[in-house]
Amino acid sequence: MNNRSREILSPQNGAAPPSDPPAGPGAMQLLLTPPEAAAALAVSPRTLWSLTSTGQVRAIKVGRLTRYDPRDLRDFVDRLRGQ
């Protein structure tokens, strides 16, 4: 797992989210594109799509675009650990 994936999936350690999202390079994104989400999970985009279509990973539709909330990705990983 690369540093970006760890940053995306790391818990906030109980810290409250800032009222304004950070801006600029390195700022945390609220939603990830399918390739970013696949990379964060270390799976192929096709595998991510399969997980999404079967309801194992939650996706968010923004118009015609599909996006992923990093918290949903973390929930998926946590569910896998619990099996």
Distance separating alpha carbons of residues 27 and 40, to the nearest angstrom: 16
Write down the pLDDT at residue 19: 52
Distance separating alpha carbons of residues 29 and 66, to the nearest angstrom: 14
pTM: 0.68
Q: Tell me the average confidence (pLDDT) per consecutive run of 10 residues in the chain, 83 residues long.
A: 61 52 66 97 98 97 97 97 87
Write down the pLDDT at residue 29: 76
What is 30-83's CATH number, 1.20.1530.20, 3.40.50.150, 1.10.1660.10, 3.30.930.10?
1.10.1660.10
C-alpha closest to that of 36 among 2, 64, 62: 2
Write down the pLDDT at residue 72: 97
Can you count the helices (H) and strands (E) in the chain? 4, 2
C-alpha closest to that of 32 among 23, 24, 41: 41
